[in-house]
Amino acid sequence: MPTAPDAPRFTPPLNALKLTGIRKTFGGTTILSGFSLDVPEGQRLALIGGSGSGKTTVLRLIAGLERPDAGEIELFGRQLPYRRFAGRLVPDDPPEARELRRPIGMVFQHFNLFQHLTALENVIEAPIHVLGQPPAEARRAALALLDSVGLADLADRYPRQLSGGQQQRVAIVRALALKPRVLLFDEVTASLDPEKVAEVLAVIRRLAADDRVTMIIVTHEMGFAREVADRVVFMQRGVIVEDAPATAFFAAPQDPRSRAFLNLAS
Amino acid sequence: METLFTTVIALIPRLLDGAVTTVAITLLTAPVAALLALIAGLARLSHVKAVAAAAVVYVELFRGTSLLVQLFFMFYVLPLIGIELSPWTTGIATLALNFGSYGSEIVRGALLAVPRGQIEAALVLHMPPSQVLRRVLLPQALPAMLPPFGNQLVELVKATSLLSLITISDLAFVGNALAQTTGRVTMVYVLLLLIYFAIAYTLTLAVRALERRYGAGATVAGAR
């Protein structure tokens, strides 16, 4: 039935991310077989599960660090093109693809700060050389961000001169400097000494208070997931076992596998 | 002893002339070879198959054949097909092509040794591939290239002696001539060895200084 062109249309709430039918195998091992997930804008989603459950792969696919064998990833309603990984050094990446992925930021388990640059230089690298910001402006913004995570004094240190917790805070600031609308956290506390975990979690907790940024947090820290996330997706062997509001999930997990996992994790 | 001393004094100026030629060839060849090494090393890692294949052909051709034969080919065969180059141009070009082919493997290895996480961090900051290479990979790979390049430089000094076979009056050429005209064979060749060693060792020390300044060791020294 045709509708009048000027009739008001129903617009569904915007999904920041929409993954549809993603399949991914690594050397014959199937990691994801038809994985689908919608993430509304502003949501703080905790992606949890044992090792090998595929949760990190999901993040890497969204970030464009892996290429799905099949399926689609939409970011704010636009389908993301895949990087071409033909070469052995740097994947081929057309400018249009980079442009579309620009709202995405990612923080890694092993920080991956540029070893040849100071903390400040790490933060201003992309604002200056990717966004084309004037250096003075980028420095000012970077110093303010470093200050907000208590690292202004260490701006001129090299990564190897910083503790793990300090490096991870710099890495978070480096991602924030590009003003991402979607932030991916991949086990960001997993390689930190226990006493350094709190300082990194405090930073993320503060970020989570800003509900304009969509966050997907892959973590083993159940207490943290419970506190920060508003939705929990529990994965096992590449499939979603349970998908529930965080409070409901932690109060009373429905699936026996979720219950077993939570009992082990706590 | 008097005569020994005077012979040495008489030989030295001529030998030093040859030494200057040897050093000049080395210093002219090294930057060309390094540039070829960088280009071929990067080309081997290219997405474009034809570019990578061309680099493989170049590298294997020049690594797989004798430097002496390459020199003779360039010097005696190219003129037959109408390409006339001066001995100096021939010598420097051949040495550069030969050393560039070995050097390209140093470049390739150093680039591949940069941790994958550095590239991934650059990608999630939305850097274009050229920038990942220029601003993240090369600055971290160059320090690792310094020690093997220093090795190559010393090899290059010694390899320049082959240019005496295409009429260049380098140190080896002058030494040979002096040994024959003066009959002071032992003396001349001992001096030759000493001068080659002095040149090579000076270059080694220069590269070490560079390593201390920029090399992988410099980063360790700056650690906590």
**Chain A partners of B125 at a C-beta cutoff of 8 Å?**
125-126, 130, 174-175, 178
Structurally, how many domains does chain A consist of? Answer: 1
- Contact assessment for residue A159 and residue A119, using Cβ atoms and an 8 Å cutoff: yes
What CATH number did the domain enclosing B191 receive?
Answer: 1.10.3720.10
Is the CB of residue B202 less than 8 Å away from at least one CB of chain A?
A: no
- Tell me the pLDDT tens digit for each residue of B114-173: 999 999 999 999 999 899 999 999 999 999 999 999 999 999 999 999 999 998 999 999
- What does each C-alpha distance from B191 to B187, B197, B210 come to in angstroms? 6, 10, 29
In chain A the beta strands, taken as DSSP E runs, fall at 15-26, 29-40, 44-49, 70-75, 78-79, 104-107, 182-186, 214-218, 231-236, 239-245
Residues of chain A with a CB closer than 8 angstroms to some CB in chain B:
63-65, 83-84, 86-93, 95, 98, 101-102, 104-106, 108, 110, 112-116, 125-126, 129-130, 158, 160-161, 171, 174-175, 178
CA–centroid distance for A125 within its chain = 20
- Nearest CA-CA distance, residue B65 and chain A, Å: 28
Of B115, B123, B126, nearest to A65 by CB-CB distance is B123
pLDDT of residue A264: 80
- Contact assessment for residue A151 and residue A171, using Cβ atoms and an 8 Å cutoff: no
Query: Is residue B220 a part of any domain in this protein?
Result: no
What CATH number did the domain enclosing A186 receive?
Answer: 3.40.50.300
Instruction: Say how far apart CA B47 and CA B44 lie, in whole Å.
Output: 9
Residue B64 pLDDT > 50, yes or no? yes
Tokens 């949501």 correspond to A43
Show the domain range for B24: 2-214
- Contact assessment for residue B24 and residue B168, using Cβ atoms and an 8 Å cutoff: no
- Contact assessment for residue B199 and residue B19, using Cβ atoms and an 8 Å cutoff: yes
pLDDT of residue B222: 40
pLDDT of residue B218: 54
Residue A81: phi, psi to the nearest 5?
Answer: -75, 160
Query: Is residue B224 a part of any domain in this protein?
Result: no
Query: Is residue B161 a part of any domain in this protein?
Result: yes
Rounded mean pLDDT of B54-64?
Answer: 95
Query: Is residue A129 a part of any domain in this protein?
Result: yes
**Chain A partners of B55 at a C-beta cutoff of 8 Å?**
none
Rounded mean pLDDT of B87-105?
Answer: 96
State the ipTM, two decimals.
Answer: 0.91
Per-residue pLDDT of chain A (266 residues; tens, 9 = 90+): 455 556 556 655 689 999 999 999 988 889 999 999 999 999 999 999 988 899 999 999 999 999 999 999 999 999 988 877 766 688 888 888 889 999 999 999 999 999 999 999 999 999 999 999 999 999 999 999 999 999 999 999 999 999 999 999 999 999 999 999 999 999 998 888 888 888 889 889 888 887 789 999 999 889 889 989 999 999 999 999 999 999 999 999 999 999 999 888 76
Q: Across the strands, what pairs with A84? A: A92
Query: Is residue A95 a part of any domain in this protein?
Result: no
Query: Is residue A72 a part of any domain in this protein?
Result: no
Confidence of residue B220 (pLDDT cuts 50, 70, 90): very low
Residue B224 pLDDT > 70, yes or no? no
Chain A residue with minimum CA distance to B222: A161
pLDDT of residue A4: 54
Query: Is residue A1 a part of any domain in this protein?
Result: no
Show the domain range for A54: 44-65+101-265
In chain B, pLDDT over 90 holds for what percent of residues? 77
Is the CB of residue B116 less than 8 Å away from at least one CB of chain A?
A: no
Residue B85 pLDDT > 80, yes or no? yes
**Chain A partners of B120 at a C-beta cutoff of 8 Å?**
65, 108, 112
Please count the residue pairs, one from chain A and one from chain B, whose beta carbons lie less than 8 angstroms apart: 90
* Amino acid identity for residue B213 in this structure: R
Give the mean pLDDT of chain B.
90
**Using the beta-carbon criterion (under 8 Å), do A126 and B128 form an inter-chain contact?**
no
Structurally, how many domains does chain B consist of? Answer: 1
Query: Is residue B219 a part of any domain in this protein?
Result: no
Residue B215 pLDDT > 90, yes or no? no
- Nearest CA-CA distance, residue B95 and chain A, Å: 29
Instruction: Say how far apart CA B137 and CA B142 lie, in whole Å.
Output: 9
Query: Is residue A124 a part of any domain in this protein?
Result: yes
